């Protein structure tokens, strides 16, 4: 695809039999060299052993990501993550706003460990969270990350989904906070929502926007090729040259995870 591989920063490991074999096959077909794998949530919660098992089964292909629910999980867990093999922390469905002061010790611990802090932003799917937590998409608005970027300047922040449906808010946060990375994962894509070339050119108008974009799929293995196509079209719309595309496909992510 790019001549030197792709890093997928946003992959969910499903529980169904054969999932890992399907994932391996899709990655081989698409030239995906690394998958940042997190568990999928359901009515029981998050099984954080699942990405560890995937890493054991698929070897160097998988970098496990720990799913953390602020208000349910505790800051004391963070120190154990690197020794267990986790490479980052995914935040979702918090009990209060992401930038609530009660969560400061969590972000302080993540920054101290040098782990990327990956935030779900915006609307969240209906997958059973409501059975065990009080879901509020407003608590996950992208503007909450602006507060965190100012409060914790060494925290490596990733904004997932570009804050859907708060796109304008997300774009302003990214423009002001150049250190925040983002993905454009969207299970429905962008064109069905009327967000094509004109929208992308207007949205990412500032110099260096591509330096903050990381590739992610966030879909089952059978749709990963579709997700690659979504990014390729977006980069075509933005007129990115080969060097910028290489940063989006892999280099921005490798730097995020301390591999460059």
Q: Which CATH superfamily is domain 6-256 in?
A: Metal-dependent hydrolases (3.20.20.140)
Count CB neighbours of 142 within 10 A: 27
Is the alpha carbon torsion for 177, 194, 135, 222 positive or negative?
Answer: negative
Query: 117, 155 in Cβ contact below 8 A?
Result: yes
Query: 2, 246 in Cβ contact below 8 A?
Result: yes
Residue-range domain boundaries for the chain: 6-256
pLDDT digits (tens, 9 = 90+) for 13-55: 999 999 999 999 999 999 999 999 999 877 677 899 999 999 9
Query: Tokens for 108?
Result: 């302080």
Give, in degrees to the nearest 5, the angle at Cα 252 between 5 and 89: 100
Query: Tokens for 224?
Result: 């990963």
pLDDT digits (tens, 9 = 90+) for 176-232: 999 999 999 998 999 999 999 999 999 999 998 999 999 999 999 999 999 999 999
Q: Which residues pair with 118 in a beta bridge?
A: 90, 158
State yes or no: pLDDT of 1 exceeds 50: no
Mean pLDDT in residue range 116-121 = 98
Confidence at residue 4, expressed as pLDDT on a 0 to 100 scale: 64
- The structure's pTM equals 0.96
């Amino acid at each position: 695809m790019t001549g030197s591989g792709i890093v997928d920063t946003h992959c969910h490991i499903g529980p169904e039999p054969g999932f890992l074999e399907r994932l391996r096959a899709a990655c081989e077909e698409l030239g995906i060299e690394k998958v940042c794998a997190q568990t999928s949530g359901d009515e029981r919660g998050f099984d954080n052993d699942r990405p560890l098992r995937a890493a054991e089964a698929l070897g160097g292909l998988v970098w496990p990501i720990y799913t953390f629910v602020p208000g349910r999980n505790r800051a004391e867990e963070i120190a154990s993550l690197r020794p267990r093999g986790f490479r980052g922390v995914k935040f979702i469905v918090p009990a209060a706003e992401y930038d609530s002061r009660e969560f400061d010790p969590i972000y302080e611990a993540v920054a101290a460990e040098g782990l990327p802090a990956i935030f779900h932003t915006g609307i969240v799917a209906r997958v059973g969270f409501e059975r065990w937590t009080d879901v509020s998409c407003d608590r996950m608005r992208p503007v909450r990350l602006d507060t965190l970027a100012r409060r914790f300047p060494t925290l490596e922040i990733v904004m997932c989904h570009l804050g859907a449906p708060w796109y304008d808010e997300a774009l302003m946060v990214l423009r002001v906070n150049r250190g925040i990375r983002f993905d454009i994962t969207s299970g429905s894509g962008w064109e069905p929502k009327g967000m094509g070339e004109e929208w992308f050119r207007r949205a990412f108008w500032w110099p260096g926007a591509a330096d903050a974009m990381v590739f992610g799929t966030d879909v089952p293995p059978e749709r990963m090729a579709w997700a690659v196509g979504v990014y390729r079209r977006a980069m075509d719309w933005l007129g990115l040259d080969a060097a910028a595309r290489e940063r989006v496909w892999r280099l921005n992510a490798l730097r995020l995870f301390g591999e460059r």
